[in-house]
Structure 1
Amino acid sequence: MRRRRRLRRPLVLLGLTALALLLGSMLLTTQSGGRWLVARVQTAWPGLLHCTRFEGRLIGPLTLHELALASGGVQLRVERLHWDWHPAALLAGRFDLGALRLEGVQLTLPADEGGPPTPGLFPSLPPPPLPVRLRSLEVAGFALHQGGAVWSLESIVLAGALDTAGLRLEQGRIAAGPLVLELGGHLAAAAPHALEAQLHWQVTLPQLGQLTGEGELTGDLAALRLATRLLAPLPLRLAGTLHPAEGPRFDLSGEWSDLRWPLDDAARAQSSAGRFQLSGRADDYRLALAGPLELEGIPALELELSASGDSSSLQAQQLSARSEAGSLVVSGRLSWSPRLEFSCEINGQQLDPARFHPDWPGELDLAGKLIGVAPETPQGVWQYSGELEYLRGSLRGFPLAAAGGFRLAGEVLSLEDVRLHSGSNQLELAGQLGDTFDLALAVQAPDLSSLLPGLRGSLAGAGHLSGTRTAPRLQGDFSGQQLSWQDQGLARFMLRATWDGEDEGQLLLNGEGLHAGKFRLERVEAEARGGLSRHDLDLRLRDEAGRQLLLVASGGWREETWQGELRELLLAGEPFGRWQLAGIVPLTLGTELLAMPAFTLNGPDGATLSGELYWPWAGEVAAQARLQGLPAHRFAAWLPEGLDLGGELSGRLEVRGASEALRGEGRAEWEEGVLVASLDKEGPLRIAFSETALDFSLTPVAVVLRLACGLPLDGILQAELAAETGANGSTPLRGQLTARLPDISSLAGFLSLAAGLAGQFSLDAELGGTTSMPQWSGDARLSGLAARLPELGISLREGWLHLAATAGEAPRIEGSVQSGDGELQLQGEFSPGPGFAWPLALRLSGDRLLVADLPEARVRVSPDLRLERRNNVWELDGTVQVPQASFALEDLPQEVVRRSDDEVLAGVGPESAANGKGSGSFRMRLQLALGEDVQLHGFGLTGRLTGKIMANSDEGLTTLDGQLNLVDGRYDAYGQRLVIEQGRLIFTGPALDPGLDLRATRPLHDSAVKPYLLVGGRGRAPRVTVSSEPHLPEAEALAYLLTGRALNRAGQQEGSAMAEAALALGVSRAEPWLRQLGAKFGFNTLEVQSTTGAWGKSAVAVGTYLNPDLYVGYAAGVFDPGGAMLLRLRLGERLELETRAGTQSSADLFYRFERK
């Protein structure tokens, strides 16, 4: 019994222990036990802990949902907590936290009361009872709330350990928006807590891209040494010391190199190197910065900044910028609490604007102030004020002085005594612009060229603007002379305004010589009378061609809309004639509506244009127009000379629908259309077009044009073009073009050199692509081509031309035509594009092509030519061989007109190419090669021509290089046949001025004398000499050349021939020979007679006195085959009778007297 009692107590203790272990095991290892324990804690300490659901076991892993902790104003909320720890490590004397993951963490701290920092915030940490290890801490979504501010982190990843030595961070990664920070290091447990940490971070910012950097923290929490550097893309270094326990206090310095903005190659701002310093506390710091700065379009600057600040403002003691353009110093203050505002003083010295723009050289000094204050409420406006104390110096060689002030609050601008003096020009402004006006302006500018480069003329006047936006008052009087700016100008103008804003006032403008580019107006007159609510308007415009516009209207402004009547409208001038408005038409023009009810314009020859317009800027549009009876010849002014149009034009147009989705249709017709060409020698050529119409349609998605036209001889022309509306950038296109001309003979009148034209033409084409890059595809054919060219005596036959185009590829051209027994072939391609300066490459080749078959010339050629067009430059290159040709030329006409050396052909030469009238410049490199069968017969000359000539032409200037040779040449003159021993034309420059090298001789078998004729010099100034072997005087050599005998053996008939030959060799050289011949044959007169300025009237005169009172003579024309017999009889000392008989006869009586 006693033994049982002694065993009962241990059994009870053992049972209680087993029960406790069982209960603890149930709490730690079962989910229900964990839930029970969490519920008991929530009941015991209400408000401290809250959890909506518990999953797992307390010994892990466990998951808590909607966890909330609160204590002392600190609140922690976690959407989900998952913890997998290792309790078995406790048996080894370690606390292994394992892996902990938190999602949706919200930490709320009480608002900062703003008390002063307490020094010594970092005491030694108590040693942990067990070493602690955290394998992984992951936080997905973290937000810190304090005093209305929120700081968010996307994720946190940590791993490390805590023991008696301190805290060791093995892995750390924090992501917050564009910033990713990776760190690791060690923090000692004992004060002052030695710290070693490594940082690596990257941040992605707009326009900057990804920035990467690294750094180190060393020291302790009393004094941390920071060293960090930006690795990419900008080299930047920062180093210094942080004192966390002192406020914190910081002392940082840094430097940079090769900074640029933007970061690409086209940087607009660059700084090669610089440095900065930042020291103090957040509420009391100092900033210094220095370095170079290069801005696009601005000379290199040297910047220096010295500033100090606190938590609410920044005070810039000095910000200086110095460069070759001068120096600028700014000092001021920027505040952001309690509101944003700034104020600064600006001083500049020796500023040279030419460093920014070469047209503005000068040296200026300035001083001024600028203040800006932000609004206190979102509905408020910024307020600015400024004062230019002075701006003085010289600008573009003229003295310059300016001063004044301004205030700007929203849309209200006030100007305070703004004055500008430049050279002799003065400008003064003062007053206010806003809801109410009170602005005075005075200008005296006799020389505007001192104000702006390129500005010319003079301007003078004064004016005052007052009243309100809806009822302004204007007084002013201005005038100007010879005003011009770039390609715009006005010879003179006068503007006078007297407007009280109510019912009375006048605005008068007169101007002359207005021009803007190619637009010219000879006179401008405008007048407005009345007030804003009711006024009359007169406008008259006249251009240099006499075209004029007259507009008379009356009406008034109602808020932002002008309503009135168009009383007169006249448009007059060629080519469209005179158009005048019939009656009075109401007119509304405003920011919301343009409306013009039914109107009619009466035009020339009974033509009319009528319509109506209702166009609200937001709403349904309704507009229509109708044209009737307009003579088509009004458009002939745009056709080539010699072409005219017949028939009448009529049409209609209607547009309707909302402004953003318009619809419309229209049609234009050419009734009894005819094209008249005054080219045919037999009379004008008329080509009739039947049923010609152009249809137009507009939808919200496309504009479509359709053309249909009946051509002569059952021909047709049909076309359709569609362009998408509302397209951004280049507009998509689609279209079709079809043409048939079964017989092209009707076009013969347009080809003045052709007769008997025959052939057929067809065209089928499609258009695609866009307006900036259209794409053609299709096929054009000209077949059965035949024609006669009477001027050349040849006929073309079996000609054809084919153009084929495939979208995306260059169209190709092929063709050929036959003439004689030769053929000309054509091949090439071109590249359509914007405009008409399309690149083109053609090759023309042929063999023995007959190009002339006339009695005086029969020529065959074998061309091999390349014609190209690139960048609007035409280039012709290749060779033209002449294998066979014969020239049978008649003698020169009786009277020859030679081109003067100073003659200029209009439109020929480099000037015409430079004035832009042609379709691009022209270059040529062409070789002409004569074969062995090129015969010349004419002017008494026979022989063969051989040689090569290279023709070069650039911008209208043509030069020739090479030579032509006369082989086997003979020359018949004055009854003699001369043998041409050498004949050459040498080209080394201008085409019409070759060098001459000719030697012709007369063989004399019975004489030892060999006479010859030499021709040298150049084509414009030839030199002709007669010589002989052995050498004889020129008269003797001429006698041998023409008669075969010496001069003393020549008869009178031969003497006449020699006189004519001497004259042909040159008048000045002939006179000595003529005197010698006259003496030999006993003539009292043997001379050349010439009418001044008319060499064609020259004659050789021979005569003798039969007695002292009777003279008989004969004159033979050099270029006129006729002659005249002359008889002169002396009747007295002062009286003579002269008679002349020839192609014209006359008798004259002369009385001679002398003045002393």
Structure 2
Amino acid sequence: MSPARWAATASRSRRRRRCGRRPGPTPRRHRPPVPPASRCRPPARAGSAGATPWVLARDVELAADLAPGGAPREARVAPGSIALLGATLRWSEAAWQAAPREGAPSRLRLAAKLDPLAVAPWLQRAQPDAGWRGDLRLAGHVDIRRAERFDADIVLERESGDLSVVRGNLPLAFGLTGLRLALSAHDGQWEAAQAIVGSQIGVVAGAQTLRTAATAAWPEAQTPIQGVVEMRIPDVDVWSAWLPAGWRMGGSLFTTAQVGGTVGAPQLGGRIEGSQLALGNLLQGVDLTEGSLLLTLRGEDLRLERLRFKGGDGTLAVDGSARLGASPSAELTLVAERFEALSRVDRRIAVSGRATVALREQALAVDGKFAVDRGRIDISQSEAPSLDSDVVVENRPLRPGEQRAPAPAANGPEPTPLMKSSRVALELALGNDLRLKGRGIDTGLTGTLRVSTPEGRLAINGGVRTVNGRYAAYGQNLFIERGLIRFSGEVAAPRLDILAVRQDLDVRVGVTVQGSTTDPRVRLYSEPDMSEMDKLSWLVTGRASEGLGRADTAILQQAALALLAGESGGPSTGLLQRLGLDELSVSQSGEGDARDTVVSVGKQLSDRLFVGYERGVNATAGSWQLIYRVARRFTVRAQTGDESALDVIWTWRWN
């Protein structure tokens, strides 16, 4: 049987014949109807649908020669071009021929060039928020020949232009002066070279060589390889575009490495050095400065000789080792000395302590103890609103046969295999200089918390108690006598046991908070027990309800003052806090024509000392008061102004 030869040419005339039209003068009324699905459609044009086609090829002519058994014997593509994602490759020769005899290699010939390609649009598609700009254009060529031996030259290099990223409102240019990636193979000698040079991004250069058979089209896995890679980056901030939004880094890096081993299992040996390193995120409160790094690598053994960062006035040191390969492992030691782990405007925490981290294949172990040296946490401003973890938003209809994804479990998502096999034992002592402020609370915190991962889920156990705390409620500055927050495993719902009382009274009245943080129960408190009206009267006005006189007016005034103090919208934004006062009241004095409106202001200087000033609207002068509580029932009061007096008060109550 003679050889069968097939040729296909993408021409317009043949395309029309494939669309169902018969050749010849057949009248239109006798032509068989063509189904709509088989009718001709014009070829899609780039941008016709608002997007560039992934692959676009025109007038591509392919010729193939088949053996009598149907096996391919030869194939050729006439000179043409193809566009892939906007990159145009033009070939002048592309041919393949089967091996002329058994044991001989097949023959291949490919000669092509890459049209100048604008890089910035590609990067902009990959990272729309990075602000990629510039006119950098890359060009290249491919020349592959295979007959009795294999020869190849592949080059991708900078033709012109530069790249930049936007930092704030200013573009940061790379300052590229050279970019070249090359691979060549001749007589079994393979050589790869890399070179990137820029005034801002530094220099990255490398060269690797290996030796194979002259006819091999690709090195075998056991082929030895040797080479070197060097990198000098004067300012790593230019690479921040690859970090998540909000993160920034700085400093300089120097790397030198030797490449060895085989193609299938390459090995690196060398070192990475860094100086003046910095890593920051203002929103997350991360501000690491003055960092230094020394990392050495020998084959699969990696050693972290030094990693130091400064945070605030303290330091963080990390060192350890790791084993790469099929079963990676790592052991690290972290030592913090007055290290400012959080440096946000509203949250600052400095810690000291030590921890060890051991990582095995699908296993994690963390042990350590840390103590808070100092901390200030301001919860006046709440975080941005967000949905709970058990809320799933689904805004598209289900496809036929599709089912809704199951809702997350009440106790959180299923732990990963790594978390299930992890063992965490961290202890955190809050120390004596941690203070919490905001939403009516101003208190110190102390206690110890233990973090663990039973069954792969994060758990916290321990207790936190308040020290010298105050709580603004009902327009009063209450003293927190008992403040306990108990953690018993669940992170998001600790138990509360809080008692805040008003101190400048002869009776004990205040507020208790019980329950969990997700469902707190706030109640009025008194000792001895009394009616809710009397509790509120003593707490708000400082006297019993039966002695108020014009009680309704006074209570309404105090309720309005409580709103001014900020209880409805965050105490820290209230009027009293802005003025630096603890008490502001308006009352009536006298009777008949002698009645006058009296305005009183006061400040609690300490647990026992109170300073106040009051003045009538129609009075020519006011009076100052100094009240000192010697004991619970023993008070000394001094007054000066229109009348000066000194009172020693002993109070005794009975039923």
Relative to the length of structure 1, the TM-score reads: 0.38
Where does the alignment leave 5 or more consecutive residues of structure 2 unmatched? 11-17, 19-41, 101-106, 395-406, 568-655
Counterpart among 139, 142, 148 of residue 650 in structure 1: 139
Q: Distance in 1 between the 2:125 and 2:422 partners?
A: 25
Q: Distance in 2 between the 1:950 and 1:582 partners?
A: 71
Task: Report the counterpart of residue 157 of structure 2 in structure 1.
Answer: 669
Task: Report the counterpart of residue 825 of structure 1 in structure 2.
Answer: 317
Instruction: State whether residues 865 and 876 of structure 1, in contact with CA within 8 Å, keep that contact through their aligned partners in structure 2.
Output: yes
- Cα shift at 1:694: 0.7
Task: Report the counterpart of residue 612 of structure 1 in structure 2.
Answer: 93
- Residues 863 and 730 of structure 1: CA distance in aligned 2, closer, same or farther (over 3 Å): farther
Q: Distance in 2 between the 1:612 and 1:919 partners?
A: 56
- Cα shift at 1:641: 5.4
Spell out, residue by residue over 1:881-920, the C-alpha distance to the aligned partner (whole angstroms, 9 max, x if none). Answer: 2112234x37457x99696685469999975976x9x999
- Cα shift at 1:777: 0.4
Task: Report the counterpart of residue 579 of structure 1 in structure 2.
Answer: 56
- Residues 789 and 603 of structure 1: CA distance in aligned 2, closer, same or farther (over 3 Å): closer
Task: Report the counterpart of residue 340 of structure 2 in structure 1.
Answer: 850
Matches within 5 A, 1:1077-1088: none
Aligned partner of 2:374: which letter?
A: Q
Matches within 5 A, 1:1006-1085: 1006=506, 1009-1050=507-548, 1051-1056=551-556
Task: Report the counterpart of residue 708 of structure 1 in structure 2.
Answer: 195
Does 2:355 correspond to 1:865?
A: yes
Relative to the length of structure 2, the TM-score reads: 0.64
Aligned partner of 2:231: which letter?
A: A
Instruction: State whether residues 645 and 673 of structure 1, in contact with CA within 8 Å, keep that contact through their aligned partners in structure 2.
Output: no
Aligned partner of 1:819: which letter?
A: G
Does 2:311 correspond to 1:798?
A: no
- Residues 824 and 686 of structure 1: CA distance in aligned 2, closer, same or farther (over 3 Å): same
- Cα shift at 1:749: 6.3
Task: Report the counterpart of residue 885 of structure 1 in structure 2.
Answer: 375
- Cα shift at 1:617: 2.7
> In the comparison of the two structures, how many residue pairs are matched?
498
Q: Distance in 1 between the 2:421 and 2:192 partners?
A: 35
Q: Distance in 1 between the 2:139 and 2:542 partners?
A: 85
Question: Greater share of strand residues, 1 or 2?
Answer: 1
Spell out, residue by residue over 1:191-248, the C-alpha distance to the aligned partner (whole angstroms, 9 max, x if none). Answer: xxxxxxxxxxxxxxxxxxxxxxxxxxxxxxxxxxxxxxxxxxxxxxxxxxxxxxxxxx
Task: Report the counterpart of residue 492 of structure 2 in structure 1.
Answer: 992
Aligned partner of 1:654: which letter?
A: D
Give SS of 1:943's match: strand
Q: Distance in 2 between the 1:534 and 1:845 partners?
A: 74
Instruction: State whether residues 256 and 271 of structure 2, in contact with CA within 8 Å, keep that contact through their aligned partners in structure 1.
Output: yes
- Residues 1047 and 891 of structure 1: CA distance in aligned 2, closer, same or farther (over 3 Å): farther
- Cα shift at 1:831: 2.5
- Residues 869 and 1054 of structure 1: CA distance in aligned 2, closer, same or farther (over 3 Å): farther
- Residues 603 and 788 of structure 1: CA distance in aligned 2, closer, same or farther (over 3 Å): closer
Task: Report the counterpart of residue 935 of structure 1 in structure 2.
Answer: 435
Q: Distance in 1 between the 2:419 and 2:524 partners?
A: 51
Spell out, residue by residue over 1:412-466, the C-alpha distance to the aligned partner (whole angstroms, 9 max, x if none). Answer: xxxxxxxxxxxxxxxxxxxxxxxxxxxxxxxxxxxxxxxxxxxxxxxxxxxxxxx
- Cα shift at 1:847: 0.5
Q: Distance in 2 between the 1:534 and 1:605 partners?
A: 31
Q: Distance in 1 between the 2:224 and 2:138 partners?
A: 30
Q: Distance in 2 between the 1:1060 and 1:897 partners?
A: 29
- Residues 696 and 855 of structure 1: CA distance in aligned 2, closer, same or farther (over 3 Å): closer
Deviates more, 1:1019-1028 or 1:597-606: 597-606
Task: Report the counterpart of residue 628 of structure 1 in structure 2.
Answer: 115
- Residues 875 and 902 of structure 1: CA distance in aligned 2, closer, same or farther (over 3 Å): same
Instruction: State whether residues 301 and 322 of structure 2, in contact with CA within 8 Å, keep that contact through their aligned partners in structure 1.
Output: no
Q: Distance in 2 between the 1:861 and 1:613 partners?
A: 66
Aligned partner of 1:885: which letter?
A: G
Task: Report the counterpart of residue 182 of structure 2 in structure 1.
Answer: 695
Matches within 5 A, 1:261-660: 577-582=54-59, 584-588=61-65, 590-602=71-83, 607-618=88-99, 620-633=107-120, 635-636=122-123, 639-640=126-127, 642-643=129-130, 644=132, 646=134, 647-658=136-147
- Residues 854 and 634 of structure 1: CA distance in aligned 2, closer, same or farther (over 3 Å): closer
Where does the alignment leave 5 or more consecutive residues of structure 1 unmatched? 1-469, 472-501, 503-531, 539-551, 553-567, 1068-1156
Task: Report the counterpart of residue 634 of structure 2 in structure 1.
Answer: none
Aligned partner of 1:841: which letter?
A: E
Q: Distance in 1 between the 2:225 and 2:154 partners?
A: 20
Spell out, residue by residue over 1:1119-1151, the C-alpha distance to the aligned partner (whole angstroms, 9 max, x if none). Answer: xxxxxxxxxxxxxxxxxxxxxxxxxxxxxxxxx
Aligned partner of 2:511: which letter?
A: L
Does 2:463 correspond to 1:974?
A: no
Matches within 5 A, 1:105-116: none
Q: Distance in 1 between the 2:444 and 2:228 partners?
A: 57
- Cα shift at 1:800: 0.7
Q: Distance in 1 between the 2:487 and 2:355 partners?
A: 22
- Residues 902 and 601 of structure 1: CA distance in aligned 2, closer, same or farther (over 3 Å): closer
Counterpart among 421, 429, 444 of residue 944 in structure 1: 444
Aligned partner of 1:622: which letter?
A: R
Q: Distance in 2 between the 1:777 and 1:1011 partners?
A: 72
- Cα shift at 1:1044: 2.4
Q: Distance in 2 between the 1:962 and 1:983 partners?
A: 14
- Cα shift at 1:1049: 3.3
- Residues 710 and 841 of structure 1: CA distance in aligned 2, closer, same or farther (over 3 Å): same
Higher relative contact order (CA 8 A, sep 6+): 2
Instruction: State whether residues 570 and 581 of structure 1, in contact with CA within 8 Å, keep that contact through their aligned partners in structure 2.
Output: no
Aligned partner of 2:145: which letter?
A: R
- Residues 1063 and 720 of structure 1: CA distance in aligned 2, closer, same or farther (over 3 Å): same
Q: Distance in 1 between the 2:193 and 2:384 partners?
A: 59
- Residues 896 and 792 of structure 1: CA distance in aligned 2, closer, same or farther (over 3 Å): closer
Percent identity at matched positions?
25
Q: Distance in 2 between the 1:638 and 1:869 partners?
A: 36
- Residues 912 and 1013 of structure 1: CA distance in aligned 2, closer, same or farther (over 3 Å): same
- Cα shift at 1:710: 0.6
- Residues 639 and 972 of structure 1: CA distance in aligned 2, closer, same or farther (over 3 Å): same
Task: Report the counterpart of residue 605 of structure 2 in structure 1.
Answer: none
- Cα shift at 1:939: 3.5
Spell out, residue by residue over 1:728-781, the C-alpha distance to the aligned partner (whole angstroms, 9 max, x if none). Answer: 6544332321111233454466666577x6532111001211344332101111
Give SS of 2:514's match: strand
Give SS of 1:993's match: coil
Task: Report the counterpart of residue 814 of structure 1 in structure 2.
Answer: 306
- Residues 1019 and 830 of structure 1: CA distance in aligned 2, closer, same or farther (over 3 Å): same
Spell out, residue by residue over 1:21-60, the C-alpha distance to the aligned partner (whole angstroms, 9 max, x if none). Answer: xxxxxxxxxxxxxxxxxxxxxxxxxxxxxxxxxxxxxxxx
Task: Report the counterpart of residue 254 of structure 2 in structure 1.
Answer: 762
Q: Distance in 1 between the 2:295 and 2:452 partners?
A: 31
- Cα shift at 1:582: 3.6
Q: Distance in 2 between the 1:898 and 1:714 partners?
A: 38
Q: Distance in 1 between the 2:52 and 2:325 partners?
A: 32
Counterpart among 273, 280, 284 of residue 781 in structure 1: 273
